[in-house]
Amino acid sequence: MVNFKKASIFLFLFITCIQLKASVGIDKFFIEPNAIIAVSKNYARGLEEAGLYYRGVTKALSDYIAIRIERGELKNKPFEIYLNDAIISCPHFSLTQNPRAYFIQTDRALSLNELMCLVDEFTKPGFTAIDLWVCGGDDKIEEETFNRIEKRLLSKQLPKADIDAIKSKEHTIFDLNELTLRYKNDSVKCYINNIEVKHKLAGLPVVINDRYILQECGAFRVYQHSELIKTFKYKNEDLWYCDYMNAEVLSKWINFTGDGSYVGYSYSYDKNRFYLIENNE
């Protein structure tokens, strides 16, 4: 069971670590019984989309860790995992532990399979800590060593039965009214009234009355029940790195604004229409 007081300390240390490298790292963290994953993105770009994925990954990885604990291959303590943004961090891999927890830190946006490989590393007899950083300079030997160890860590052949058991299990990561987001086979899918809606979401859907607004890169899509009733595409000059826009939901309107952008949009429920808002301040 995760100690939430300790989890708060973990989050504080994670934020501090990011701020030491640059003051632009913004993070989300996800807590399950055997795993805590913190994800940082430069200026939060892509953070909401990554957040959807890692909501599911954390659940699946926690299940995998539970299996290894039950077999006696790991001690009954959680994994605390830091996934920093490569833009604001040196290439690094750090695998360490103390009596309270196992720790993984890297600048890579790791997949579920890659995280399972790193967890497996801690089960090896005589495990020794790994702490690799390549921060500038022209040390080719250091870089080659890093690449070789990274390849070894992330390309293991794990037992197929374990992989199948973990990836085939479905996890609900968001559930509101008729809409659910489900994680399975290392991907997130959206369902409305149990009908799959095939869009690559940039973040959590927004709900207003009986409608659901999905954000993709460069577009809003409005569903009423499971029927698509509106598609609105941004103008090219309005794109802000395809990022998720924050939403203020009112009774008949939704106001969308992007971080750092002078452009926003308002959606009218009554007219089923989007309006461009420009902030010239």
What percent of the chain stands above pLDDT 70?
84
- In this model, does residue 106 exceed pLDDT 90? yes
Could you tell me which residues come within 8 angstroms of residue 266 by beta carbon, excluding any fewer than 6 positions away? 253, 254, 255, 256, 274, 275, 277
What is residue 170's predicted lDDT score, i.e. its pLDDT?
97
Q: What is the mean pLDDT of the chain?
A: 86
What is residue 240's predicted lDDT score, i.e. its pLDDT?
54
Average pLDDT over residues 1-7: 43
What is residue 17's predicted lDDT score, i.e. its pLDDT?
44
From CA 240, how far away is CA 259, in angstroms rounded?
A: 8
What are the residue ranges spanned by the domains of the chain? 4-166, 201-278
What 3-state DSSP class applies to 266? strand
**Structure confidence at residue 184 as a pLDDT band (50, 70, 90):** very high
From CA 86, how far away is CA 95, in angstroms rounded?
A: 17
From CA 179, how far away is CA 192, in angstroms rounded?
A: 4
Closest CA to 118 of 37, 50, 173: 37
**Structure confidence at residue 9 as a pLDDT band (50, 70, 90):** very low
180-192 b/e with 16+ CB inside 10 Å = b?
bbbbeeeebbbbb
Average pLDDT over residues 218-230: 94
What percent of the chain stands above pLDDT 90?
63
- In this model, does residue 191 exceed pLDDT 80? yes
- The single residue listed with the structure tokens 């420009």 is 278
Distances (CA, A) of 21 to 88, 129, 136: 7, 23, 13
What is residue 271's predicted lDDT score, i.e. its pLDDT?
98
What is residue 146's predicted lDDT score, i.e. its pLDDT?
87
Please give the structure tokens belonging to residue 144: 């080659």
Distances (CA, A) of 61 to 37, 65, 170, 235, 257: 10, 6, 13, 39, 33
What is residue 281's predicted lDDT score, i.e. its pLDDT?
53
What 3-state DSSP class applies to 21? helix
Greater model confidence, 73 or 44: 73
